[in-house]
């Protein structure tokens, strides 16, 4: 028995509305305008090779792969698209720039700006822009301007007088070279890398600088290509299978660390706990800004130094280098927790003759974060054009990240001392 076209249309519509209801229930869709856009744009037509169930799942849809299998273009997860569009505060008549094409998100933005507005979407990959052009034109969004260009420069993009009202970046970016293309008071939403950790951050331009004003969203996107691509600055400690990564700051020598990693570490306890399913990305961001010599540590899954136990899980861990010594943040299970998913204590492992000193230094910063910042509002991020900033007088400025086009400052709100506890409760 075959399915009739009417049944197929009904099934598509039902799945689209079910997705919207899920996004509303989870508070990712918060305004009627964004809800209307998600109810209107058919996601499946921008992913014709995906099954209908996958097209309306709350997950990414890979659309292009590199020769080594890496995903280099995708349709982002709907929850993240909704969060970013809500944060962009796009209004009817706005002029909007999207960096990183695919078609679906541009169609959502076209619904938000309406006939009087304008959407430009840019991607460096001609295969991606050809695909976006084809799907947009074939589904009633041929008024979206699709541009093939390196977004690092925007030389082929017509920036409207006064700048774009909103810029939405849908690729993983290490820097923010688009401040001058944004209108004063305009919104820029970008998944920004800080020491390899990723947050979607909503900024408003005020007096030529970008200021965040909403909670940071932990996220992941395909990597930026072209001149704006980030460099891992990955260094391997000889003979250990241990790698240290710097993305902000100057890489330090690592060859001298091999003897340190061959020995058992010292363990410095913090008495600060975290639940098994609780994220502590804010702590790693705090440590990255607070500690000179900060880097991230990862281990070859099948060849790492067995002294590094437990190895970093899921993503590279926080570490600092001090000459021939090193310290790294780890967690130690101390119980099941109220939900049975585990209770863990932050501990710091020190390696080398001065490893215990480095471990104590890191532990003190973990305790400072716990006492002063853990229960506070999320940190506030400011991005200023590098040309407007006085060059740093020292190698390490606490909570300042110097990039090619901008200088990023992280401001950590402080809570009253009574609000800082030794655990997450």
Q: What would the DSSP string read from start to end of 271-295?
A: EEEEETT---HHHHHHHHHHSTTEE
- Output the furthest CA–CA distance in the chain (Å, rounded): 75
Does residue 76 carry a catalytic annotation? Answer: yes
- Put simply, whether the predicted model's pTM sits higher than 0.85 gets the answer yes
- Residue 294, phi then psi, degrees to nearest 5: -70, 140
Instruction: Return the C-alpha torsion angle 289, 192, 80, 181, nearest 10.
Output: 140
- Of 299, 198, 193, give the one whose Cα is nearest residue 249: 193
CA R_g for the chain: 23
The two three-digit tokens of residue 70, written as one number: 């890496």
- Of 244, 119, 249, 98, give the one whose Cα is nearest residue 173: 98
CA distance 118 to 165: 10
CA distance 98 to 105: 8
CA distance 282 to 195: 12
Which residues have C-beta within 8 Å of that of residue 45, sequence separation ≥ 6? Answer: 135, 138, 139
The kind and range of the H/E element at 318 are strand 317-322
- Show pLDDT as tens, one digit a residue, over the chain (425 residues): 344 444 466 789 999 999 999 999 999 999 999 999 999 999 999 998 889 999 999 998 887 777 777 766 778 899 999 999 999 999 999 999 999 998 999 999 999 999 999 999 999 999 999 999 999 999 999 999 999 999 999 888 889 999 999 999 999 999 999 999 999 999 999 999 988 888 899 999 999 999 999 888 888 788 888 999 887 789 999 988 899 999 887 889 999 999 999 889 999 999 999 988 788 889 999 999 999 999 999 988 765 556 677 777 666 789 999 999 999 999 999 998 777 778 999 999 999 999 999 999 999 999 999 999 999 888 999 999 998 887 665 667 899 999 999 999 999 999 876 444 554 43
Homologous superfamily in CATH for domain 5-228: Vaccinia Virus protein VP39 (3.40.50.150)
Predicted local distance difference test score (pLDDT) of residue 91? 98
User: What number of CA atoms fall less than 13 Å from residue 212's CA on the CB side?
Assistant: 24
CA distance 243 to 295: 10
Predicted local distance difference test score (pLDDT) of residue 8? 60
Using the 8-state DSSP alphabet, how is residue 34 labeled?
A: H
User: What number of CA atoms fall less than 13 Å from residue 81's CA on the CB side?
Assistant: 29
- Which of 76, 101, 212, 325 is flagged as catalytic? 76
Q: Count CB neighbours of 79 within 10 A.
A: 19
406-425 burial code (b ≥16 CB/10 A, e <16): bbbbbebeeeeeeebeeeee
End-to-end CA distance of the chain: 57
Per the CB < 8 A criterion, the answer to whether 323 and 354 are in contact is yes
Residue 109 vs residues 35, 36, 160: alpha-carbon distances, Å: 12, 11, 17
CA distance 336 to 385: 48
Using the 8-state DSSP alphabet, how is residue 405 labeled?
A: S
Per the CB < 8 A criterion, the answer to whether 19 and 37 are in contact is no
Using the 8-state DSSP alphabet, how is residue 238 labeled?
A: T
């Amino acid at each position: 028995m075959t399915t009739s076209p009417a049944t197929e249309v009904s099934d598509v519509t039902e799945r689209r509305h079910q997705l919207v209801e899920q996004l509303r229930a989870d508070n990712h869709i918060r305004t009627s305008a964004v809800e209307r856009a998600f109810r209107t744009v058919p996601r499946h037509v921008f992913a014709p090779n995906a099954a209908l169930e996958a097209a309306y799942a709350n997950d990414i849809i890979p659309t292009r792969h590199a020769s080594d299998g890496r995903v280099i273009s995708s349709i982002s997860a709907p929850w993240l698209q909704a969060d970013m569009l809500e944060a962009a505060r796009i209004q009817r008549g706005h002029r909007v720039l999207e960096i990183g094409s695919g078609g679906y998100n541009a169609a959502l933005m076209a619904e938000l700006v309406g006939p009087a507005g304008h959407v430009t979407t840019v991607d460096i990959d001609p295969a991606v822009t050809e695909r976006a052009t084809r799907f947009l034109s074939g589904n009633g969004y041929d008024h979206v301007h699709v541009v093939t260009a390196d977004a690092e420069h925007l030389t082929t993009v017509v920036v409207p007088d006064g700048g774009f009202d909103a810029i939405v970046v849908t690729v993983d970016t290490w820097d923010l070279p688009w401040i001058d293309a944004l209108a004063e008071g305009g919104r820029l939403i970008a998944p920004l890398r800080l020491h390899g950790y990723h947050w979607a951050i909503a900024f408003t331009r005020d007096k030529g600088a970008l200021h965040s004003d909403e909670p940071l969203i932990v996220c992941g996107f395909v990597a930026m290509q072209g001149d704006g691509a980030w460099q891992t600055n990955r260094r391997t400690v000889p003979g250990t299978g241990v790698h240290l990564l710097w993305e902000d700051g100057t890489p330090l020598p690592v060859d001298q660390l091999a003897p340190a990693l061959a020995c058992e570490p010292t363990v410095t306890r913090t008495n600060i706990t975290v639940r098994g399913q609780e994220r502590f990305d804010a702590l790693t961001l705090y440590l990255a800004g607070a500690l000179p010599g900060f880097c991230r540590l990862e281990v070859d899954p099948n060849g790492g130094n067995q002294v590094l136990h437990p190895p970093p899980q899921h993503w590279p861990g926080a570490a600092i280098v001090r000459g021939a010594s090193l310290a790294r943040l780890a967690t130690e299970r101390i119980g099941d927790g109220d939900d049975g998913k585990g209770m863990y204590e932050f501990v710091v492992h020190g390696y080398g003759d001065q490893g215990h000193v480095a471990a104590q230094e890191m532990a003190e910063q973990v305790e400072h974060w716990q006492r002063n910042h853990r229960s506070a509002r999320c940190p506030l991020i400011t991005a200023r054009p590098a040309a407007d900033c006085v060059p740093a007088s020292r190698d390490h400025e606490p909570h300042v990240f110097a990039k090619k086009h901008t200088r990023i400052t992280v401001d950590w709100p402080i809570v009253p001392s009574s609000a800082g506890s030794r655990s997450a409760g």
